[in-house]
Amino acid sequence: MITAGIDIGAATSKAVILNNDTPLCFSIIPTGSSVVKAAAIVIKKALLKAGLSMNDLDYVVSTGYGRKSVSYAKKAMTEIICHASGVNLSMRQARTIIDIGGQDSKVIRLDKDANVINFVMNDKCAAGTGRFLEVMAGALGVEISQMGPLSLLGKHPCQVSSTCTVFAESEMISLRAERKKLEDLLAGIHRALSRRVVIMGKSLGFEKDVVFTGGVAKNVGIKKILEEEIGLEILVPEEPQIIGALGAAILAKTEYCNSSRLNK
């Protein structure tokens, strides 16, 4: 059975193609200005890699903020449920997921059967999200992929007092004018973002295993501070950005089986 999961996020769109429980391939593209276009391109790329066509897909589930715009998906599900499912495929001991994406951040608590038992999500502010890092990277002229490694070199993290992304950007410019070291600025930025997420997640509590997903999980600086703050080791899947899409593909399999059973 071939299923696909499509995660249309604010920053990137992801597709995962699954053969039963085995991931065949995935694709990641920037979402850009049209979610409909992104949904069409991301699946096309994944199918090309797998040597498959649309007709080979038995069931497609979409997720992410643009989940309703995926015309070829038979069902749309929330990122929260999809992340739980995606993490459970390879990390069955996971009890807490920290997911930081481009537009939102969440902490999700799971039971032993990977059911979501509680969750908390940032409200309407970009401060605890990947967008915060993107804006700061722009303000400091640093490649986003370099931010994490450079932040680890900071010996005296700057205090970033603004939790608002726009005001923090102005604050960066002022701190740069004061000739603060780039590494210390980055360490401060990473601490500010991580604190937002930890404070949010503390209302649920962190129980091990803690798994970190979403594009920001690729940032070693954020991972290190999160570990320090919550006092637990954090596991990062090999490709953390596609966990939502992977979960959607797994749920697509379940949906397909359920619908086949009903049709019999």
Which residues lie near other proteins (CB under 8 A)? 65, 77-81, 104, 113, 115-121, 123-124, 203
Nearer to other proteins, 65 or 256 (CB): 65
Nearer to other proteins, 93 or 118 (CB): 118
Tokens 């966990």 locate to: 243
Nearer to other proteins, 119 or 206 (CB): 119
Nearer to other proteins, 120 or 220 (CB): 120
Nearer to other proteins, 115 or 146 (CB): 115
Shortest CB 55 distance to other proteins, Å: 30
Nearer to other proteins, 79 or 171 (CB): 79
Shortest CB 104 distance to other proteins, Å: 8
Cα–Cα distance, 112 to 184 (Å, whole number) = 40
Nearer to other proteins, 117 or 173 (CB): 117
Shortest CB 63 distance to other proteins, Å: 10
What distance separates the 2 farthest-apart alpha carbons in the chain?
A: 71
DSSP state string for the chain: -EEEEEEE-SSEEEEEEEETTEEEEEEEEE-TT-HHHHHHHHHHHHHHHHT--GGG-SEEEEESTTGGG-TT-SEE--HHHHHHHHHHHH-TT--EEEEE-SS-EEEEEE-TT--EEEEEE--S-STTSHHHHHHHHHHHT--HHHHHHHHTT-SS-------SHHHHHHHHHHHHHTT--HHHHHHHHHHHHHHHHHHHHHTT---SSEEEESGGGG-HHHHHHHHHHHTS-EE--SSGGGHHHHHHHHHHHHHHHHHHHHH-
Shortest CB 254 distance to other proteins, Å: 12
Shortest CB 226 distance to other proteins, Å: 20
Two tokens, residue 88: 């459970």
Shortest CB 240 distance to other proteins, Å: 19
Shortest CB 59 distance to other proteins, Å: 18
Query: Contact 193/212 with Cβ under 8 angstroms?
Result: no
